[in-house]
Homo-oligomer: A and B are copies of this chain.
Amino acid sequence: MDVDEKYFKNITKRERAIFEGAITMGALFHQFVGTPVSIKNVETLEKSIADAMTLQPCINKVEIKIDREILDKVKNEFDYISLTGEMLDVKVVSDYSDKRAIIRLKFIPELNYPLMFVEEVY
């Protein structure tokens, strides 16, 4: 089956790149929020999140940075916390044909919200 021909001919190539990048960003957030994280596992966690989400359709690269300052400040009996959107800075690079969309997740203090937006598209 030609998936693109059957399911995606109603949108442009640029829209397809945006679409696939947005799916992956929503997926990443809701799959991994809640995961136990500390300074000890933060690097392997970042790498495995990037590797997993890069498997999704059209995803060329995922860059993810979990906030070390928040991890350093953890002061509880157990020395780890649950991953939250506030701690995440993510770029998902989504390519379809000759179009590329870079989707960003970033916590915006003025909004008190981890905003997802299209950082670049071309």
Which residues in A have some Cβ–Cβ distance to B below 8 Å?
1, 3, 7-8, 10-11, 14-15, 18-20, 22-38, 40-41, 44-45, 47-49, 51-57, 75-80, 82, 84-85, 110-113, 115-118, 120-121
Contact = CB atoms under 8 A, between A and B. Distances in A.
B118 A19 contact: yes
Given A11-B121, A48-B48, 6 more contacts: A14-B15, A23-B116, A36-B55, A44-B44, A48-B49, A84-B84
Each complex incorporates copies of this chain amounting to 4
Contacts of A11: 18, 118, 121
Contacts of A18: 11, 15, 18-19, 22
Given A22-B23, A25-B26, A34 B36 contact: no
